[in-house]
Copies of this chain bind each other. A is one copy, B any other.
């Protein structure tokens, strides 16, 4: 039994090609190939499929929607562009000598934390387990050319800055409390807050170099964008959505609290297994959606899916790249022009052991020098091999997008050596993931809100258009941008569909 599960998991992970496309939808009687001259995606489906609800995207949002709809007795088909499920979660094998077989690291989203109730419940439902992010030992701070180690929360010499940042955080939390999660644009000061960048707010409210630097790094690491890219209202909404800014930035007790044994993609793989491969079409980019009173038709190269309704569970910017017939109204379309994805390259180096632990370090570094300005110990639970992970975020990420992987590897190692010494010089394996260059993601962690967008386009974010429903973590009220928000958004869309007349 375990073997069969493993096989199914492997198939969903590695793509449908090995399965033979036909085997994916054994239950769909009227699947007949169409005579398209356009080349279909390799291993992609051919022919016509039918379901009650078609779902675009097999990330956490789409799979959660499917799961809830199946529980409600609906016939669903999840249509996924890639050769795998999981969206912005993805396990990658650690193949370095000494790594136990099956060891993985996540190259996408990886953490869960307290109050993320829906994803924690899903982890339990799927029989998965979590473990704490390694957090024992001192931190490293590199600033003004000087490296220092420290315990507690405040880097040496940054006391006043830390106090100022803490006051700012309390003030932001308090402002965020005035932002209604369902309609941020109705906040009493929405117009004022959506008229300035978060950088302008920093410039007007923090005055010590250290305080500004701390808050800037916090924002960069939460949004993988620069404070100047973000609306103040957008940041406040995000804070409210997560409960507090501390929830967003903390490791222990915050959004970086815990990891999933076996890698975070297991959540998606588990949901996909439960759905069964006959409910998921892989290698099937949806290029066009026809919609009307009678139903919807999703079309890709060589295949079509007819359904009563569709849930589009991909980031808004990608949803805007699908052709709709009839074309969507200007408000919805212009919204999709205005929610760009953040920018992050996630880099990881594998070492024979987590050597920094022996030096009393927890592997977490902050820095004012790139390319990597933030690191974590990302070793497997038993620490039998060491994995140092870094983020190249926002402007730093954009600056290396056109570098070769080898150039980024060099920059990463230089950063790691700067924070953890010469032992970091020769990793056994370098693993990077450049989400902005992935055709079906185009950036991470999530879509961001520039100034003015919530105010003028917010109402078009979630509102269904006829038989089209919108999911994806960008549409979530709680834990927007996180796994938890993705799952909530899928379930909310499923609830809409069930409530709607067929």
Q: A37-B34, A196-B200, A334-B436 are in contact. Are A226 and B452 (CB under 8 A)?
A: yes
Q: A456–B334 contact, CB under 8 A?
A: no
- Please pick, from B299, B339, B343, the residue contacting A330 in the complex, using a CB distance under 8 A: B343
Q: B36–A443 contact, CB under 8 A?
A: no
A182: interface (CB < 8 Å): no
A333: interface (CB < 8 Å): yes
A43-90 residues at the B interface, CB under 8 angstroms: none
A195: interface (CB < 8 Å): yes
A473: interface (CB < 8 Å): no
Which chain B residue shows the least CB distance to A453?
B229
Q: Which of A145-153, A358-366, A395-403 is found at the contact surface with chain B? A: A395-403
Interface residues on A, range: 35 or more
Contacts of A437 in B (CB 8 A): 327, 329-330, 333
Known contacts A196-B199, A287-B323, A329-B437; 4 further A-B pairs (Cβ under 8 A): A330-B435, A333-B442, A334-B341, A450-B451
Contacts of A35 in B (CB 8 A): 35-37
A294: interface (CB < 8 Å): no
Copies per complex of this chain: 2
Q: A456–B395 contact, CB under 8 A?
A: yes
State A197–B488 Cα separation when bound (angstroms): 33
Q: A331–B38 contact, CB under 8 A?
A: no
Contacts of A337 in B (CB 8 A): 317, 337, 339-341, 442-443
Contacts of A37 in B (CB 8 A): 34-36
Contacts of A484 in B (CB 8 A): none
Q: A398–B334 contact, CB under 8 A?
A: yes
A194: interface (CB < 8 Å): yes
A320: interface (CB < 8 Å): yes
Which chain B residue shows the least CB distance to A440?
B327
A308: interface (CB < 8 Å): no
- Please pick, from B333, B340, B439, the residue contacting A338 in the complex, using a CB distance under 8 A: B340
Contacts of A10 in B (CB 8 A): none
State A290–B341 Cα separation when bound (angstroms): 24
A5: interface (CB < 8 Å): no
Q: A195–B228 contact, CB under 8 A?
A: yes
A457: interface (CB < 8 Å): yes
Q: A195-B228, A398-B457 are in contact. Are A334 and B327 (CB under 8 A)?
A: no
Q: B402–A329 contact, CB under 8 A?
A: yes
Interface 1/0 per residue, A432-459 and B, CB below 8 Å: 0011110100110000001110011100
Could you list 23 A-B pairs, sorted by A, with CB under 8 Å? A36-B36, A36-B37, A195-B200, A196-B197, A196-B200, A196-B228, A197-B197, A197-B200, A197-B451, A228-B452, A317-B337, A323-B439, A330-B401, A330-B434, A330-B436, A330-B443, A334-B343, A334-B401, A334-B442, A337-B442, A395-B456, A450-B451, A451-B451
Which chain B residue shows the least CB distance to A302?
B37
Contacts of A402 in B (CB 8 A): 329, 331
Min Cβ gap A229→B in Å is 4
State A337–B451 Cα separation when bound (angstroms): 15
